Amino acid sequence: MSENCALRRANVLANHILQSPPQPSNISLAREACLQYTPPEVNESYGFQVKEMRKLLDGHNLEDRDWLYGIIIQSNLFNRKIRGGKVFVSPDYNETMEQQREISMKRILHLLEKGVFKGWLTETGPEAELKKFALYEVCGMYDYSLSAKLGVHFLLWGNAIKFFGTKRHHEKWLKHTEDYLVKGCFAMTELGHGSNVKGIETVTTYDPRTEEFVINTPCESAQKYWIGEAAIHANHAIVISQLEINETNQGIHVFIAQIRDQDGNICPNIRIADCGHKIGLNGVDNGRIWFDNLRIPRENLLNSVADVSPDGEYVSAIKNPDQRFGAFLAPLTSGRVTIASCAIYSAKVGLAVAIRYSLSRRTFSAVATGPEVLLLDYPSHQRRLLPLLAKTYAMSFAANDMKMMYVKRTPETNKEIHVVSMGLKALLTWHNMRTLQECREACGGQGVKTENRVGHLKGDYDVQTTFEGDNNVLMQQVSKALFAEYVSCKKRNKPFKGLGLEHMNSPLPVLPTQLTSSTLRCSHFQQKNVFCLRERDLLERYTCEVAELQERGESRELSFLLSHQLSEDLSKAFAEKAILQAVLDAEAKLPAGSIKDVVGLVRSMYALICMEEDPSFLRYGYHSRDSVGDVRREVSKLCIELRPHALALVTSFGIPDAFLGPIAFNWIEANAWS
């Protein structure tokens, strides 16, 4: 060690021991300025009137929606909390399952006191039904457990009495149900049978001596399963059961059974168990029910379709058992309509949170010393969210059309409502799940926090894809309905009418070989050519394949099963065309101006992203490899054109700030130490 080095080390040790101050340094430790939140509204402009766009999107009952928003936001019962200087309302997911169930019922009773449910069962007509749809959608945006409980009580239990019952049932049950003096559930699904309703095993017989029906659960697989409200709150149940009269099975029928007394005690000859904790919807008390020779009065058969006389004679105006079975599934149509529309409002919440966050959150710099870039200014982020935004807009128009079709239904339109509601229920709920997952990821770690809503909505809404009809099964039924319509028209040599198949009366469209930007955005090309050609070709392929299989000796049902891939492609083509038609109809009614221009961009994005994402366009030759590339490039161009409208488009959802998550606003202040 050199002398200088030793001396230097000795000085360091001496300074340390003597705690002398350190030598001054020329290194600058100046602090960079902290990140500051900038509201998106500062830098983003509205290129159209958002209030007018909201009228177009919500479609009906805006004042009623805003009234209910206010009731929820103003009550501490809905878990009001202040984050970043703003009020937010959302369920408290720190609560136990038992607490979530009880608070859900307290919230229902609070809304009952405020008159929210007035007329939900006792008023009739399109206006009353549309108001019910609107208020139900608002409840679903706050908490799907809340709307699911309402759905069980009003749409399943209540509508079963309304549709299947007669005057005596309406007078006895409907007003009491609306006032929650009766709490109902809908016991159809069993451990062994869900989608296959015909196969349920619960059996009801008739005892003419006492004029009573006797309901029995003959085996464990026949236990009623996943019955919402059954575990705790319901005191009556709609029971879907096989009816045996004089040892002849008359198929499924609908009965009313009391399962608890007014004090909440389970009635004799009934056993009830809890289904337990779920991945979502833990505010709903799903239960299992066994009937041990439960006796109910003869009058508790809902007898609008069929009846049993006091001496045990079975009578029905509908002699065909299959037609009778179809009549018993009517309440599920209203359920599917509400499920589809609620799914879109859930997607709106997710997109509003994710897009607002992406308009204030920055990351990385485009140049070495430049500012960090907004998330939504990255082309990849635009590609993730803006096509989903366009799809959500398109599906909103379709959901509104479906609701209008439902509230104005006639016997002649019931078939079309049934088919359309199945297709849209499947597509819209699948879209919701995909959208929420993308929004969750687009929010990064903040998307994992339940207070930011997106992640937990995914868990709550997941069940939509399988309840009131498994989506895959529903889509198979759509294809079968189209098959039946096609075969019927061909056999009778009649033109197609209904189910949107009228385009098949026209010559086969021919697609251009060169797809320019203007061609791809042309509504006639999108709807009259591409989407109609896809549906037409797939329907013809499907019917041919089923016919060929039957000619080779396969049964009709097995032929359908073996053709499942074409069935899936066809049903998707049908539903996507119906959605595109809804956008075109909405667009056609608009006067020239900024809103019409933006809806046109949304419509083009919807049509082209469907073309890009569906392999059938390439698989069956509707597009060449070159044209697929043209479509993809046009989608990217549309992302750039929709980007300036992103804030205005999500603001047009009309969702109050309090229904979103803190990261949609000042996420720095919301996470400050306090």
CA–CA separation, 4 and 17 (whole Å): 20
The distance of Cα 56 from the centroid of its chain, to the nearest Å, equals: 20
Name the nearest CA neighbour of 595 among 48, 6, 34. Answer: 48
Q: Is residue 576 among the annotated active site residues? A: no
Quote the crossing angle between the two packed helices 331-358 and 379-407, to the nearest 10°: 150
Start-to-end CA span in the chain (Å): 55
Per annotation, catalytic residue among 44, 137, 438, 468: 468
Instruction: Give the SS3 label for residue 551.
Output: helix
Helix (H) or strand (E) holding 346: helix 331-358
> Is 228 known as a binding-site position?
yes
Residue 179: partners with Cβ closer than 8 Å, 6 or more residues away: 112
Between helix 471-492 and helix 414-442 the angle, nearest 10°, is 140
Distance CA 174, CA 311 (A): 28
**10 Å Cβ neighbour count for 55?**
15
Measured distance CA(280)–CA(302) in Å, rounded: 33
Cβ atoms within 10 A of the Cβ of 451, count?
17
Q: Is 204 annotated as a binding residue?
A: no
Largest CA distance in the chain: 122
Cα 529 from chain centroid? 29
DSSP 477-546: HHHHHHHHHHHHHHHHT----STT-GGGGSPPP---SS--HHHHT-HIIIIIIIIHHHHHHHHHHHHHHH
Amino acid, res. 227:
I
Q: Which residues are catalytic?
A: 468
Annotation: binding site for FAD = 189, 228
